[in-house]
Amino acid sequence: MAGHRSPSGRRAQTAAVVRDRAAHRAPSDGRHRVQVVAVAATLGVVAAGTAMTFLSGASAAAAPTPAVADTAGATPDPMLAASAGVLQPAERIRALTAPPSMLPVAYRSDGDDATERQVASVQKASRLAEQLAAVHAEQARIHGVIRAGGLDGWIAEALQVMGLPQRLAPGVKKIILAESGGNPRAINTWDSNAVRGTPSRGLMQTIPSTFATYVQPELADRPITDPVANITAGVRYMIDRYGTETVAAGGRSDGLGSYVGY
């Protein structure tokens, strides 16, 4: 019991510890509490301030230090102001580390390529179908002209047999009208050929030797006055002598544009 009453005893030591602990307790006024917090904040942001200084290329001290008021509205605490000065350049750090603008990137998948190929295939098939339809329509027209007979029908059939384009039909018709007037039985009795005893005959007014040489082979058994056979002989002769374009132009002509026989 005496030991507990002695100033140098255990009770005295316990009291001293209590007083020391009490001395480290935060006082009730807000000013000292802010100082403690400021010290901790300063120690905690040293690393961040160093990183900021490295990134920006300038010291933290170069940034302006704004005034900082404590919680009681009194004179700014130097320690808190210093920590605020260190933290101030955070805006510059955010500016440096801002992500770059995102730009659109063209992207194509295999599915897109497959779709494009499929569309192109469909378009090609459509064009081919249109061309085939046009060919069928032209063939139907030609067959109709041939069935109708007459001069246009004979010309259309002769060109078809020779495998020549129907675009030559107007030129062939012009030649026939100039040579025979469209009469398959026409005979020339007055030109030099008639004087020699080999008068020109038929729609294209061919002589027998010319007809025998130039008539379409599969029509060789037909007479010289056969409309289709006569046309093939006269057209093939003109193409051989003057070219296809002369036939397309409707035969030869003189300087005045008048027809010149072949």
- How large is the average pLDDT for residues 200-207? 98
The verdict on 43 and 146 lying in the same domain is no
Instruction: Tell me whether residue 113 is in a domain.
Output: no
Instruction: Tell me whether residue 166 is in a domain.
Output: yes
Query: Of 136, 149, 208, which is closest to residue 182 (Cα–Cα)?
Result: 149
pLDDT tens-digit series, residues 106-116: 555 666 788 99
> 3-class DSSP state for residue 130?
helix
Instruction: Tell me whether residue 69 is in a domain.
Output: yes
User: What CATH number does residue 232 fall under?
Assistant: 1.10.530
Other CB atoms within 10 Å distance of the CB of residue 237 = 18
- How large is the average pLDDT for residues 173-199? 96
The verdict on 16 and 83 lying in the same domain is yes
Between CA 52 and CA 85 the distance in angstroms is: 12
Query: What are residue 259's DSSP bridge partners?
Result: 253
The verdict on 178 and 240 lying in the same domain is yes
pLDDT tens-digit series, residues 142-167: 999 999 999 999 999 999 999 999 99
Query: Of 116, 60, 121, which is closest to residue 88 (Cα–Cα)?
Result: 60
Of the pLDDT bands very low, low, confident and very high (cuts 50, 70, 90), residue 260 is very high
pLDDT tens-digit series, residues 41-94: 444 544 444 444 444 444 444 445 444 444 445 555 555 555 555 555 555 555
Structure tokens at 7: 């100033």
- What are 86-90's contacts with CB under 8 Å, separation 24+? 86/42, 86/45, 86/46, 86/48, 86/49, 86/60, 87/45, 87/48, 87/49, 88/60, 88/63, 88/64, 89/52, 89/56, 89/60, 89/63, 90/52
Identify whether the C-beta of residue 189 lies closer than 8 Å to the C-beta of residue 201.
no
The verdict on 240 and 133 lying in the same domain is yes
Instruction: Tell me whether residue 102 is in a domain.
Output: no
Q: Domain boundary at 96, 116, 142, which?
A: 96
The verdict on 133 and 244 lying in the same domain is yes
Least confident interval from 27-31, 122-126, 142-146, 210-214: 27-31
- Residue 92: per-residue pLDDT: 57
The verdict on 36 and 134 lying in the same domain is no
Instruction: Tell me whether residue 110 is in a domain.
Output: no
The verdict on 256 and 133 lying in the same domain is yes
Identify whether the C-beta of residue 180 lies closer than 8 Å to the C-beta of residue 205.
yes
Range of the domain at 223: 129-260
Instruction: Tell me whether residue 181 is in a domain.
Output: yes
The verdict on 224 and 149 lying in the same domain is yes
The verdict on 92 and 136 lying in the same domain is no
- How large is the average pLDDT for residues 203-228? 98
Structure tokens at 39: 């010290």
Instruction: Tell me whether residue 210 is in a domain.
Output: yes
The verdict on 136 and 92 lying in the same domain is no
The verdict on 155 and 243 lying in the same domain is yes
The verdict on 141 and 252 lying in the same domain is yes
**Helix, strand, coil percent values for the chain (each to nearest 5):** 65, 5, 35
The total number of structural domains in the chain stands at 2
- Residue 97: per-residue pLDDT: 56
Q: For residues 1 and 190, which has the higher predicted lDDT (pLDDT)?
A: 190
Residue 210, C-beta contacts closer than 8 angstroms, at least 6 positions apart = 233, 234, 237
Ramachandran quadrant class, 251 (left: phi over 0; alpha: psi -120 to 50; beta: rest)? left
- How large is the average pLDDT for residues 5-22? 46
Instruction: Tell me whether residue 3 is in a domain.
Output: no
> 3-class DSSP state for residue 206?
strand
What backbone phi and psi angles, to 5 degrees, belong to 187?
A: -135, 130
